[in-house]
Copies of this chain bind each other. A is one copy, B any other.
Amino acid sequence: MDLRDHNGLTEKEFLAQYRAGDYERPSLATDMVIFTVTDTEADSYRRLPEKELRILLIRRGGHPYFGQWALPGGFVRPDETTEQAAARELQEETGVADVYLEQLYTFSDVGRDPRTWVISCSYMALISSDQMQLKAGDDADAAVWFKLTYRLLRERREVLEDGYAKTMEYELKLCAEGEELTAVVARTVTVRATSTATNYNILLSEGLAFDHAKIIACAMDRLRGKVDYTDIALHLMQERFTLTELQQVYEVILDKELLKAAFRRKVAHLVEETDHYTENAGHRPSRLYRRNWEGNR
């Protein structure tokens, strides 16, 4: 169309003369919480190994937060989306391409990066442990898989004039070879007459850079929330797995024991039988399953 604006310009003319820079601009980064699940050493020939939930962290080699641990991430380029930037980072860091990737939340707190105005569009990725070969050497950073636990510490409730605020404090623990990082993150739901708002706050962050404790907490909440109404957890499994393994993964995500019979009924339509069984366990062999694509309802 050839509409002319108040300066008498057509759209083509307007765009040709347009110059950006009227507004101050932030740097745009992505940060990723990359989850995987690993096995512990089995302590007896017939005992099953346990599952551990892990995320990838990178030791910072410069200021700010020099020596502390941060989520993998980087700046977004003008010719890519945040999602493409996240996929690129993931590829560079772990070499995997076909991965479950989900946008979590965009963090923009003032001062969240001491250098300058940086907002972070965060993503969550789920990969199976057989995909988690780190590209060694390529990027000379110290990338390490930390075991993660995320546990409710305390629950508080405060009465306001026109509503109330409920705060859940979670302890986030990250462990790997000698390193132990601890953070406490509070999730507050504020209920007022005509609104409801949820907020995260970092109460303690030892060894974790920036506001990354918040991002990890956000990812855990999302993962826990989605685990029991989607097939999301299957992206953490290898090609073939037993139902007990799958249950262990659910349990380590939810930090809660589940009942076997009910669990099997629940996931039945998310998986497909194979004709293979586990071998050389000191007990009855277990049928192997694979993900059922159609199960997603």
Contacts and interface: CB of A to CB of B under 8 A. Distances in A.
Contacts of A64: 11, 14-15
A137 interface: no
Contact of A296 (B127, B128, B196): B196
B67 A82 contact: no
The winner among A26, A106, A232 for most chain B CB atoms within 10 A is A106
A24 interface: yes
Interface residues of A, number: 66
Interface stretch (A51-59, A94-102, A143-151, A245-253): A94-102
A143 to B, nearest CB: 19
Interface string A146-174: 00000000000000000110000000000
Contacts of A127: 194
Contact of A197 (B101, B196, B231): B101
A265 interface: no
Copies of this chain, whole number: 2
Contact of A62 (B6, B75, B78): B6
Nearest to A24: B78
A110 B105 CA distance: 19
Contact of A195 (B25, B82, B98, B164): B98
Given A196-B296, A197-B101, A108 B5 contact: no
A18 interface: yes
A23 B156 CA distance: 43
Interface string A64-79: 1011000000011111
A220 interface: no
Contacts of A11: 63-64, 66
A129 to B, nearest CB: 12
A117 interface: yes
Interface in A90-131: 98-101, 103, 105-106, 108-110, 114-117, 119, 121, 127-128, 131
A5 B128 CA distance: 35
20 contacts: A1-B66, A1-B67, A9-B63, A14-B62, A20-B27, A23-B77, A28-B28, A28-B108, A78-B110, A81-B108, A81-B110, A82-B106, A98-B194, A98-B195, A100-B194, A100-B196, A100-B197, A164-B293, A189-B296, A194-B235
